Amino acid sequence: MEKAAVTAVCWVPKGKINMRRPEADGGDEEELRDAAQHLAASSTGPTSIQKATGVATAITEGLEEFDLDNYDEDEDNQDDMQFFSVLKADGELARDKDEWLQGNPDSESEADIDDIKPEDQVFVAVSCEEDSCQLEVFVYEEEEGSMYVHHDVMLSAYPLCVEWLSSAGEAGEGSFGAVGLIDHTIQLWDLEEMEPMEPVRALGTAKKQKGKAGKKKKGAVSGLGAAGMAKAHDGPVLCLHGSAFNRSVLASGSADETLKVWDVAENKCVHMYAHHENKVQCARWHPTEQAVLLSAAFDRRLALLDVRQPNQAAYADLPSEAESAIWSRHSPFECLVSVDNGGVACYDVRKIVGKEQGMRLWTLMAHDVACTVVQDAPTKNLLITAGLDGHAKIWNTASAPSLAMSKDLKAGPLFACQSSPEAPGLVCFGGKCPVMWDLSSEQLLVDAFGFGGAQAA
């Protein structure tokens, strides 16, 4: 379905999502069996009921003309008694579960939706349509090259970013989607719930106020955004990134020009940094150095932080306002930033910290308009960019960056992109709809980077 914008996407690690469905205890089926058993027990007719209770005597006074004691003997009533016999037989059948029937036949959601299997490729996307915003859990079927929405969550405000977490404090271990919203909040949603009514946690939010009496609207969060309530930031939340070392640690950047580090388990902001002078567009934890955090902002600066030393940020100038930033997974001393003039710049972080010359290793003009995303992949020397021109481009960075392939994804301006950490050629994009591009299906790219379909499984 075409949307106004898919603003962010995020992969869920394989095997990290186990669905919990409403009415999974089979309550409806048990009630049906109890009702059938009750009807079967009642099939002996009014006479047995009269003997079982003295109240029945008073109730049946004045009904002598119907001769209820001999009701079973009346030939005219044999057809009626056959009805009770059928009920009794059906009741016995209802107590026996059909061995060929899978799941709960009374649950509409369970009947229509398959379980997510450990080997499934799963990603989440946040988007906005004309009158609603949502977080959607997608399953991508590699063999068929297709994807579908497994379930979704209605959001209370426009979503700007999303991150996967495996821990959410009181909710314990599981699979959670952290969503940064335009209303300054960060909401944590349980991805294993089919129909959650509210997030399991809202970071920086005080105890929720009680809503008005009556049933809550799906996705509505009582108390969030109410007057006097604390929020995660004082501006829209533009970026989120979870630590690879502790999935309960989350970094967030905001239009309020601050960068914050959260202890999700305690719902507590443990550090706040104000080293930027404009909107903080990007925040990324280093993949191997636990305390190192990268940020980039609209003030045209890239910053490196050791969170243990909050007042000692190191800076590098950017060619333009920041759009996205990543650490290179193959060169741990390098980071890359895309900017709104269409460029991408690569930096040597050792030279940034040492304030040396030559900290910018190379600059690439990737797009004619804003380059909204830069991403690398498990395959070495492969770089992906996407922009507001709707094109996704693959670059070979073995020496100087060179264009390997460009493709119009037919999804309008592209706002998001993430490569699968478990399938070298699988890349998900967000435009007017989610788009999956399997790079291993392109022979030109297979020849250039050496991966094949078998490696992308």
pLDDT in tens, 285-315: 999 999 999 999 999 999 999 988 877 899 9
pLDDT in tens, 315-352: 999 999 999 999 999 999 999 999 999 999 999 999 99
In a domain, 452, yes or no: yes
Domain range spanning residue 383?
Answer: 164-191+200-456
Give the CATH number, domain containing residue 225.
2.130.10.10
Q: Is the pLDDT of residue 235 over 80?
A: yes
| Residue 22 placed within a domain | no
Residues 178, 88, single domain; the answer is no
* Separation of alpha carbons 343 and 175, rounded Å: 35
- Of 159, 263, 267, 109, which Cα lies nearest the Cα of 203? 267
Angle, to 10 degrees, between the axis of helix 78-95 and the axis of helix 27-41? 150
Residues of the chain with pLDDT > 70, as a percent, come to 72
The domain tally of the chain equals 2
Q: Are residues 36 and 171 in the same domain?
A: no
**100-138 burial: b if 16+ Cβ within 10 Å, else e:** eeeebeebeebeebeebeeebbbbbbbbbeeeebbbbbb
Last residue of one domain, picked from the residues 67, 94, 110: 110
Q: What is the pLDDT of residue 337?
A: 98
Domain end point (choices 110, 125, 144): 110
Residue 125 domain-assigned? no
Residue 13 banded pLDDT, cuts 50, 70, 90: very high
379/236 same-domain check: yes
Together in a domain, 91 and 230: no
Predicted pLDDT of residue 51: 35
Say if residue 357's pLDDT is above 60: yes
Looking at per-residue pLDDT, the higher value among 204 and 91 belongs to 204
- Phi first, then psi: what are they for 91, rounded to 5°? -65, -40
- In the chain, the amino acid numbered 293 is L
Whether residue 207 is found in the same domain as residue 95? no
Which one has a higher pLDDT value, 80 or 301?
A: 301
Residues 291 and 170 in one domain: yes
Largest Cα separation within the chain, whole Å, is 111
pLDDT at position 142, please? Answer: 85
| Any domain includes 34 | yes
User: Is it the case that residue 32 has pLDDT exceeding 90?
Assistant: no
Radius of gyration over alpha carbons of the chain, in Å? 30
Instruction: Provide the pLDDT for residue 95.
Output: 56
- C-alpha closest to that of 344 among 329, 360, 359, 331: 360
Q: What's the pLDDT tens digit per position in 360-372? A: 999 999 999 999 9
The mean predicted confidence, pLDDT, of the chain is: 81
Residue with structure tokens 């004082």? Answer: 234
pLDDT tens-digit profile of 101-121?
454 544 444 445 578 888 899
Same structural domain, 440 and 339: yes
328 within 8 A of 347, measured Cβ to Cβ = no
Strands lying side by side in the sheet with 334-339: 322-327, 334-339, 343-348, 360-365
Q: How does DSSP classify residue 20?
A: B
